[in-house]
Structure 1
Amino acid sequence: MEPSATPASSPAAFAPPSGFRLLPGFLDAEAQRHMAAAILAVLEQAPGYHATMPKTGKPMSVAMSNAGRFGWYSDREQGYRYIERHPVTGRPWPAIPEPVLDVWRAAAGFGHEPECCLINLYRDAAKMGLHQDRDEADFSAPVVSISLGDEALFRLGGTTRRDPTRSFRLASGDVLVLGGASRLAFHGIDRVLPGTSRLIPGGGRINLTLRRVTRP
């Protein structure tokens, strides 16, 4: 998604929407290695692809894949949506690895399992502009985000593009929860800080975003 031009606010002027939780160091080094290995195995079955922007067809800089019943996808013709098969291989998405589900169960505070684990692979100058996660049928479930690999500058705003924003530095093993009022908060990745981790072969950052897609 294209980066937004929304300016950052000073930390003193910014209050995160209710339901936002940052859980630094949620995964220790061993748990990070175990999860990264599980995700790399998923990527062998479901290789990364570059979704494209609606209308313009411009490729996104972040490589993506998915695990679970549904996978998030976008193209010029039909826009943002969830699909049940890999857009290139045509195969169903692999199952969400158990270590990833364990994070959801511990952090989400929701009585139903996630249906999608969006895998975003950031390399080089890849970034993600401010956006809302609103392609799901029900917003009662939170979005749970797991960081692996290089550190990143994460930007959080409010529920409109004009709201003030603030950036947070995310490290490998950190977990974010967007629930309650923050479920529809605008958020994005300003940039990744290369060389801050050796976890991902070839460098870079993997972000896992766990979501419910249908109503429970």
Structure 2
Amino acid sequence: MDQVATDLMNRLPEEHVLTFPAEEMLAAEVATSSPNYRLQRVEALHALLENEDCVIVTSTSGMNRLLPAPAVFKQAALTLQVGGVVDLEQSRILLSSMGYKYEKMVLRPGDFAIRGSIIDIYPLNTEYPVRIDLFDTEIDSLRYFDASDQRSVENIEQVTVLPATDFVVSPTDFDAIGNRVQTAFKAAQGKLTSQDAQAKLEQAISPLLKLLLTSN
């Protein structure tokens, strides 16, 4: 796939050639779950939705990959601008549905944090994280900042935050998905005889359940 993309870039403008990396094998799929590969998939889907003039290169696994409905994915892009209005609670729900992970402080792409009237987001599609400073519900300022020292880098007027994953879930589906996961979790836990195995399963699933059942 990479060779095909490289060959096309030698014949077409580089910005018109996008890739959608995906693998069937678990180990390979873990490798393609890095922020860079997730960004490539998100940018490819975004280009399709915007009817951009481009070529998307993928594998058979990519063609068979389950994806959200176009309308759901399109709604997951968040455009922010100075003077705009933002609801803190709705932003938390939306960012979670976009695949962003709530943290006390943003350190890596895919993180977001809310502290008082400040929202920090580290989009996959920007070099630096974005800090949104609110006055009540109005965006008072937008700026890029350095995650390592929290210092401002550049004031901006507008930014578009793309999803942190190609697997986007509509916030209205959180309850239904959470209940299904909870039912499957309890059934799987009941089949385990080892307390250690039960504890490991709970440790792995509980954060996901908490996110799904408290996000709306």
Q: TM-score range by the shorter chain?
A: under 0.3
Indicate the structure with greater helix content.
2
Q: TM-score, normalised by structure 1?
A: 0.23
Query: Whose strand fraction is larger, Structure 1's or Structure 2's?
Result: 1
Larger Rg over CA atoms: 2
Q: Tell me the TM-score normalised to structure 2 length.
A: 0.23
